[in-house]
Amino acid sequence: MTTDEMNALTKTARTLMNGILGHPISAATEATYAKIIERHYTRDEEGTPDGIVYPQPTRKRTWYQARAAFRRNIAGQVKAILKRADDCQRAGDRLGRANELDALPACLEMLGPEGRFGKKATFDPETERKENRGKRRTLKHFPDDWREKVFSAASPRMQRAIAALALSGCRPSELSKGVQISRTGDRITMTIKGSKTNDGHGQPERAITIERNEENAMFFACLDPGEISEDDGYVRVSLHRISRRLWPRHKNVVSAYNFRHQVASDIKSAGTDSSQIAMTLGHAVEKTQSMYGQALQGSGKSGIIAATGSREVKDNRRLPPGLREDLGEEETSRPK
C-alpha cells in the first residue's frame, strides 16, 4: 500500500467514523447498544467470544436498533485502528502503519451505503434466518486446503499469526499474550502462556514441538525464532475480511477457532494419545477435548510430536456403565 493510498484510506475512514460517532448518545442508549453487541457474539465451547452472528430480521424495530448498535461498534473499531496507525506514522513506522490500516477496508465495506450496516440497509422480513453454527461443524463447509488459501491471501503480518494458529492450535487470546518460538533443525517448539487457567483449570504454560512436513512447510517458512504476538481483534477482523474475499457467497467465515478445531482434528486422526491431545490444546483434563475437532475431518499430518505443560493431565472421562460393571468399580475410578 503506497503512502497516497494510506492517506486516502485514512481520510475516508475518518470522515465515515466522525459521521457516526460525532452524534452523541445517552448513557442508557450506549448501555443498550453494548448489550445488543454482546448478545450477537458467538462463543466457543468454553464460552469465549470467537465471532459475530449479525442481526437477522425478526421485528422491524429491533432490527434497526441492532443496525445502529453495530454501526457505532464498528465505527469504534475504526477509531482504534486509526489511532494505532497514527502512532506508527508518528514513530516513522511505515510498514506498521500499513499493517494497521489493512483491517480498515472490511470495516468500511460494512459501513458503506450498500454495506450490511450502511444507511441503505433495510429490514427484509423474507431474509432467511441464519443459524448459529459451531466452529467445529463449519469445517466441513471449507475446502481441504482452506488454511493454505487463507494464509496465501493474508498480509505478511497476518501470515505469521496464521502460521502460529495453524501449527499450534493456540487460542487467539494466547496469541495476544505472545508465543515464544525456538527452532532446532526441522523442528519448532512453541511455548504458550495459557488462558482459562483459574481454579486449577487449563495449562498456565505449555510447550508444543512440531516437525516440518509437506503439509505444514508453508507455515514453517515464515516463523523465525523469537516472540510472535497479535491483537485478537485484529486477527478476527482480518480473517473475516480474507474469508469474504475468498468465499464471498459462503455462509460461514473463518475464525481463529477454526484453526484450533482443525489442529484437534489432525492430531485425533493421527491416533495421538488423549493426554497429549489435552496438553496440546492447553487442557488439564481429557474430557474437554471432546468439544474440539473430529478425527474424520483431520489429515493426521499436523507434525506435532510432543507437548508438555505445567500441570498433569487428569483422565476424567466416564466409562460406559456396562464396562464399569465388567471391570469393577475400583479399576474404573477416575481422578476428579
Number of residues written out for the chain:
336
User: What are the pLDDT digits (tens) for 129-186?
Assistant: 443 445 555 666 788 889 999 999 999 989 999 999 999 999 999 999 999 999 999 9
Report which of 300, 333, 297, 90 is spatially closest to residue 215, judged by C-alpha positions.
Answer: 300
Eight-class DSSP state of 332: G
What is 194-223 written as a DSSP string?
A: -SS-GGG-S-SEEEEEEE--TTTHHHHTT-
Task: Name the residue type at position 260.
Answer: R
Contact 19, 118 (CB under 8 A): no
Grid coordinates representing 3 are 503512502
Work out the pLDDT band at 193, boundaries 50, 70, 90. very high
pTM (whole model) above 0.85: no
Residue spans per domain, the chain = 3-111, 135-309
Rounded CA separation 48/98 (Å) = 29
One CATH from 3.40.50.2300, 1.10.443.10, 1.10.1510.10, 1.10.3720.10 for 135-309: 1.10.443.10
Strand partners, 180: 191, 227
User: What are the pLDDT digits (tens) for 107-139?
Assistant: 888 888 777 777 776 766 554 344 344 555 566
What is the number of other CB atoms lying within 10 angstroms of the CB of residue 262? 25
